[in-house]
Amino acid sequence: MLLALTVQNVSKSFGSKKAVDNLSFEISQPGVFGLLGTNGAGKTTTIRMILGIIPKDEGVIHWDGKEITSKTVRYGYMPEERGIYPKVKILEQLTYFGQLRGMSRHDAAKAAKYWLERLGVAEYQNTLAEKLSKGNQQKIQLIAAIIHDPELIFLDEPFSGLDPINTDVFKNIIEELISQNKIIVMSSHQMFTIEQYCRDLVILNKGCTVLKGNLRAIKGGYGHTNLSLGCSPEAFEKALPVAERLGIKLIEKRANAYEFKINGDESAHAFLRELVDSGICPDRFEIREPSLHEIFVEKVGAAE
């Protein structure tokens, strides 16, 4: 049976400022749980309260029905503020972090070498951390969070500052962790990335919950609201009056596609028929639910 993380009516204030207000959620299945929000929404404070780094003012945080501590669950944490010892060799500090999380020196060094190899930075194991690039330092930070094979993993903005190649490396690792039935709580601004992995999520704004639940159900609730049309600019000039006539509204012009807001599948199907009848053959015609980015902007914008 998989264990569950329960956060119930948790609040935290700093002086007169409410950082987190009556937050509740539960994670009971492996996978990625998204903790989303604008800057200062309370994401990092929530993670810090769960990990016991800062005390909560109110509420309950449980793992398997018991108060969450390092004794009740083995957790890993990659903080938003990256921090490694600049003047210490990579293998040595990873071994140290592993030992602090209960591993023997030998096991910690072995695990560190495995992950260094896996993330393509094995050649730097005897290099001082300060000599590594920012992306490679971030990989070391990720290894420090997962070296001890934790059940519950917190990744605070794991992709910020990464180039596309390293982003893919991180994604592969996250997929591997998901396949190992780990529970991952991920905070990020990169909605597209979160959308790829997230099963459940909470969106926070100024400490308050503006949306929470299963991402597929949330999107399903919105229905098919968007149409993405890929065609040449000339074809678009001809297609636009047709769309307007059918009540389909252009919302965004992109380099290779045009985004429309539709009222339902029927109007989109009618639009496609008219386009084909007019001799316009689109490269792409996709009817879809709103993106997480759009949902986020809508919800947070409404709350503002």
70 is a contact residue toward another protein (CB under 8 A): yes
Q: Nearest approach, Cβ of 262 to another protein (angstroms)? A: 46
Query: Considering only residues 85, 225, 238, 303, which one is a binding residue for another protein as defined by CB under 8 A?
Result: 85
57 is a contact residue toward another protein (CB under 8 A): no
Phi, psi of 282 (to 5 degrees): -70, 150
**β-sheet with 152-156: strand ranges across:** 75-78, 152-156, 183-187, 31-37, 198-205, 208-214
Residue 92 or 298: the one with the smaller Cβ distance to another protein is 92
Residue 142 or 243: the one with the smaller Cβ distance to another protein is 142
110 is a contact residue toward another protein (CB under 8 A): no
Query: Considering only residues 96, 113, 151, 285, which one is a binding residue for another protein as defined by CB under 8 A?
Result: 96
Q: Nearest approach, Cβ of 103 to another protein (angstroms)? A: 10
Query: Considering only residues 136, 141, 193, 226, which one is a binding residue for another protein as defined by CB under 8 A?
Result: 141
Among the listed residues 259, 275, 191, the one whose alpha carbon sits nearest the alpha carbon of residue 225? 259
63 is a contact residue toward another protein (CB under 8 A): no
- In contact, 299 and 211? CB cutoff 8 Å: yes
Q: CB under 8 Å to 2, separation ≥6 — which residues?
A: 28, 29, 30, 181, 183
Q: How many CB atoms lie within 10 A of CB 14?
A: 11
Among the listed residues 126, 40, 136, 39, the one whose alpha carbon sits nearest the alpha carbon of residue 89? 126
56 is a contact residue toward another protein (CB under 8 A): no
Q: Are strands 58-63 and 66-67 parallel, antiparallel or unpaired?
A: antiparallel
Q: Nearest approach, Cβ of 172 to another protein (angstroms)? A: 23
Residues that bind another protein (CB under 8 A): 15, 48, 51-54, 70, 75, 77, 79, 81-88, 96-97, 99-102, 141, 144-145
